[in-house]
Structures are given as C-alpha cells and as structure tokens.
Amino acid sequence: MARRSGSAYSSYNVTCQYVGDAIRVGLPREPFVGSSVLDSIYRNVKSQHIRYEPSQKACYVSASEIDSLAAALYDSTRSFPSMSRAKRFDTGDTVMLAAVVTGIAQQVVYDGERKLFVLIHNEREYPYELIADSEIVFNYWKGKATPSTASNVYEVLGVSQTDEESVVKRAYKQLCIKWHPDRNKEPDARKQFDAIQEAYSIVSNPRRRAMYNAGLKQEMVLAQRSRAEQFPAITSGHVLLHARMILGRLIVSTIIEWRPL
Amino acid sequence: MSDKMQLVQATGSITQRAALMGRTLADIMSAADTIVMLDISSSMATQDSRGRRARIDAATEDLAKLQEKFPGRVMLVQFNDSAEIVPTGVPGEPQGTTDVASALELVKDFDFDGMKFILISDGEPNSANGALAVAKTFRQPIYTIYVGPEGGEGRAFLEALSSATGGTSMLAARADNLLGVATTLLLEQKQ
C-alpha cells in the first residue's frame, strides 16, 4: 500500500449489537457514498451476507456466514480494475468496520482523506489488500448502472427521492436523448427507454410518486420484520476499537472494550 | 382461530400482486388508486353482522372480495389506537380504541387527484373534532361506510366527516353490503 502524506488522522468508536446470529455495526457518521448506491451494492452483490439500514446508520453481518462474506468480498473485487496486488473494494466504511468486528480483517487503516483500507492477512486464499475508495465506488456504479438494472425508479432516472419536479424532468429528458431507440443503436436501447418511460410515469405523477414512496417504506418495514423474526435480539452493547499509529497511519487492530447495554 | 388468521395475504392485495407479477411492492403500490381505511377497534368484534358473525369478519370478507375484484388497486390502512398500512390486505384482530384522526393523517400524504378514500367504521372516534379537523384539510372526498348498529351514534359522525370533504356516507346494513357499496364507488369514480 502506498504511503500517503499530509493526511489528518482520526479514530472513532463504533457500536456493535449482537442480534441473534448477526452482528449489527452502528456507524459513527454518515456513510461516504449515497445510500441509494450502497443499497444497490448490498442488494446486488451481497445481500445475503450484509444488510445495510440507512435509517439506522448501521449494517448487519451474519456471524454464521463469515466465510461466505469473505468470499463475497473477494469476488466483488474481481470486476474492478486491479492495481497489482491491491484490489479495489466496492463498499464504504460500513463494511470495513463490519469486517474488523467480525474478524475478517485484522487491520483497518483510515486517513483523513475519506479513504478506508482493510488489510486481510488470514491464512486462507484471500491474502489481499482491499481498498475502499468511495469516489471510485460511486463512479464505478454510476458508470455501470443502466436504467433497466436500477433497483427503483429514482435510480432509473438518476435522481433522489426528494428532488423536485424540474430536476426530475431535466434528468428524464437527458436520458430520453441518450437512450431513444432512434438515436441509440445499443441492442437493449428499447428496453432501457421503456424503463425510463415507466419510471417517469411514476415520479412525474404526484399521487403515484407518493404511493411509490410509501411502498419503498413498506419494503423496508417488511425486510426488518423478516430479519427480526429470523434473528431475535439477545443483547447489545458498545465496542471500542484499539488504534495505533504505524508509519504515519492510524491502525485499528482490535476491540479493546465491550460494554453491554 | 378465525378464518382470516390463516391468511398470509389476500388475493389481489398489494403483496400478492407484487409476487404474482414479479414486481416490487413499491411498483404495485404506485398503481393503487383506492385506500380503504378499516376500523379494527374492539367494537368491531361485536357479533351482530350477517350470520351472527363479527363486524370485522364480515368487513374482512367483503374487503377480500373487493381486492380480488380490483387487484392491486386497493391499499388497506387499518386503525385502532394508531394506523398502519397493511399491504397484505388482511386486517388484524379487533382491539383498542378508534383513532380516526391517525388514519386520516396517515393517508393525507396520498391526497392527490385520482385517489379515492373509503373509511369503514362502526363507532365513535376518540376525538370527533380532531378527526374532522384533519378531514377538512383533504382535497379529495372521503366516502364513509357505517357498519355499526342502525341508529347508532357513530353514523352521525361518519356523515359529518364525509360531508366535510364532499363525499357521501353510506350504511352497509351491519356490513351486509360493504362490497356492493365500495364496488359502486370504485366503478363510479374510475379514472
């Protein structure tokens, strides 16, 4: 890992909560990338292993699936351009912290430039240095996503749930220009164009948009209920990570305190 | 255990429609144009409906038929001490009080052109004035269906509520004709 200079360093606490067979990792601050992007990642890449809850600023990792998670983390790096032995990693600090807490990662390095690194030095087949760079992640997903692969109508149009009508309309027009079958010769242009039309028919209609938003909330409620039934709460507490400076970097290595609530 | 306790989701409900079509809950809900607010307060357990059945059972049975007849178009909101959306279309057991205002406040977010509101109740609300105050802020009419006993005091409140919003109030003869009343509303108001 190349050494960085001129960075400010900081440490932080995280909150952990054992929820049945899972470990809930509370975040000390907002995730680096937009929640919709993270949602996509978790849904599309490793929804079976990690669940992210934007409203709770937390992610859930199944403690019984550590090996599967490690494999998923490794697999997720395959699609990224490799940097010699370093592999870009496609999530933000939420997963990094989860990785530390669950023992996948032995070291986490965080610098003041909003970059997170996780070193995995286990004896299995993942002796890789994983790098999380929120901007790379964001740009990667932004570039990769197409309207028909988006998980909700806002992602289709590339707008946020709170964007006003004028913003939505502008985005819609730009997408129409890009994906209109008469202009775009991609084989799936019609499919993408139809997805754009369908999304806009919802977002541009106040009633349908309100109902759609309520539906998104319901999806989250149902997912939480399902999870709660699967993993009933047992106990909870706070955890403090141990950190030290090595070669100008803050190294978080172990959990030094567990304080049950 | 009553019959409805065995139901996971009603035929034609939001969740069933989503599963059937392979779409998300949000996709299906975006196409719903009717919200049925169903009173599940303890008084709805009174067994004076058809065949000596509880009002809630009769209402649930008719609600199920309504969802089946208009798949994906009906979203259920149940209320007693509080209100919640029930995408499965199967209401809970009757218990608690009748907080009509909480139901109205919940569905107020969907008060846009093309939305139809139907309130089904049998009793007096916790706060008639509070409920009426919320109702008066609605742009769309609220139709009410009274399922309590004939001559009951609750009917006057429902009439006042629908009147305040430009809607109408109907008597469902102890829930005997709920389906017919609601269907008529849906067909008449079809967009």
Query: CB neighbours (10 Å) of residue A195?
Result: 21
In this prediction the pTM is 0.63
Interface confidence (ipTM) of the complex: 0.89
Higher-confidence position of B168 and B115: B115
Range A169-195 average pLDDT: 88
pLDDT digits (tens, 9 = 90+) for A199-240: 999 999 999 999 999 999 888 788 767 656 655 544 455 556
Dihedral sign, Cα of residue B152, residue B154, residue B160, residue B162: negative
Task: Look at residue A214 in the predicted model and tell me its pLDDT.
Answer: 95
Q: Angle, nearest 10°, between helix axes A206-230 and A189-203?
A: 100
Using 50, 70 and 90 to split pLDDT, how confident is the model at A143?
very low
With CA atoms as reference, the chain A residue closest to B86 would be A218
- Residue A41: HSE in the Cβ half-sphere, 13 Å Cα cutoff: 28
> Is B173:B158 a contact under the CB 8 Å cutoff?
no
CB pair distance less than 8 Å for A222 and B87: yes
Which positions in chain A touch B92 (Cβ < 8 Å)?
A: none
Least confident of A87-101, B54-68, B87-101: A87-101
Q: Looking at the DSSP assignment, which residues form a beta bridge with residue A259?
A: A238
- Interface contact A222, partner B, CB < 8 A: yes
DSSP A47: T
State whether residue A208 is helix, strand or coil: helix
Compute the distance between CA of residue A29 and CA of residue A94 in angstroms, rounded to an integer: 10
Strand partners, B85: B77
pLDDT per position as a tens digit, B80-101: 999 999 999 999 999 999 999 9
The tens digit of pLDDT for each residue in B128-141 reads: 999 999 999 999 99
Runs of H (alpha helix) within chain A: 35-44, 66-78, 93-101, 134-144, 153-157, 165-179, 189-203, 206-230
Span of A98-112, A153-167, A242-256 with lowest mean pLDDT:
A98-112
Q: Which residue has the higher pLDDT, B66 or B78?
A: B78
Minimum distance, in Å, between the CA of residue A206 and any CA atom of chain B: 7
Nearest neighbour of A218 by CB, restricted to B25, B31, B33: B25
Full 3-state SS string of A115-174: EEEEECCCCCCCCCEEEEEHHHHHHHHHHHCCHHHCCCHHHHHCCCCCCCHHHHHHHHHH
The total number of residues written for chain B in this structure: 191
| Cα A84–chain centre separation | 24
